Amino acid sequence: MHTPPGNHITVLGAGAWGTAVALALSARHNVLIWGRDPLAMAAMDTARENTHYLPGFALPPQLQVTGNLESALAHLDDPAPLLIAACPVAGLRPLLQQLKPHAIPNIVWLCKGFEGGSGMLPHQVVQDVLGEAVPAAALSGPSFAQEVARSLPCALTVASSSLALRESVVASVHGGTMRVYACDDMVGVEVGGAVKNVLAIATGVADGLGLGLNARAALITRGLAEITRLGTALGANPGTFMGLTGMGDLILTCTGDLSRNRKVGLELAKGKALDTIVAELGHVAEGVPCARAVRALAASMDVDMPITNAIAGVLFDGDTPQDMLAQLLARDPRDEVA
């Protein structure tokens, strides 16, 4: 089996996004993808396709597939390895606990959101489980799995306090149709990636109600203001929210038809129950649990987030989409930059 001469990269998580990233990187690097269900991974290896999460994209011969975590970590025996966690936020802590007994060179995560219960951002979960000795980074930005798998252009941002890891991620991931920018504002990158999913649900509701393009533009713009208020309260650089992981990811998720969170909003506008929508979706829509976490965090910090509060009311409090609209339209006027 031919393998590219590049770095050894292990992707932990065989959902749509993990598979797409593994596909994209396997053209230039020696990539192995791991999933927690050995039977499912064996079937994926036999079919050479992720028929459940990313159907229609053949796995190249050089992309290795395993359900054995020991083999996945042994793959990192390389001078410049990269370990990528491609699980949902809810699965990050359990995955890290599996990794804790092992010596890992670094950890880069793709998930976006706040952990349920603790309200932690992913980097806080990583520090809580692994401590600060392991170099850690978030890789985020406007990116749909299907488009990455099709080798369509996209741009991402890697955020880390480790300059060496930032440089390693850029060197490994940047290339071909994928551009990677770097920064050290992990809080800003993660807040933007998390809250935009909540706002995409709200925008989907507005579009589903037929409120028009003017309303969509208003929701996206005022949503960006909410993201910025919360992020800066948490210590982020306000400029981060003008970039790929703020405005860029927000625009994509609120307007793109491939957005799971936007689809949740569209279905809510039809009057469907949330449990039914999530079951029919078949994938994780991070904006749903994130809405609860963000509402609680904003309230505890006295950060004004009216759109988030309104959509959380629809998701969890029995409010209707019409209630959400009335609540937002009834707000008193204010200075735009306040």
Q: In what order do the strands lie in the sheet with 107-109?
A: 64-66, 30-34, 8-12, 82-85, 107-109, 136-140, 154-159, 178-183
Pure H helices in the chain: 16-26, 38-47, 69-74, 89-99, 122-130, 145-149, 163-173, 186-208, 213-233, 249-255, 260-269, 274-281, 287-301, 306-316, 321-329
Q: Determine the Cα–Cα distance for residues 55 and 52; give it in Å rounded to an integer.
A: 6
The single-letter code of the amino acid at 300 is S
Which position among 100, 196, 263, 270 bears the catalytic label? 196
Between CA 160 and CA 139 the distance in angstroms is 9
**264, 204 Cβ separation under 8 angstroms:** yes
Q: What angle do CA 293, 194, 183 make, to 5 degrees?
A: 135
Residues 125 and 96: beta-carbon distance below 8 Å: yes
Concerning whether 196 is annotated as a catalytic residue, the answer is yes
Separation of alpha carbons 207 and 269, rounded Å: 8
> Collapsing DSSP states into helix, strand and coil, what is residue 83?
strand
175: number of CA atoms within 13 Å, CB side? 14
Round to whole Å and give the CA distance between 125 and 114: 9
C-alpha–C-alpha distance, residues 104 and 288, integer Å: 32
Write out the catalytic residue numbers.
Answer: 196
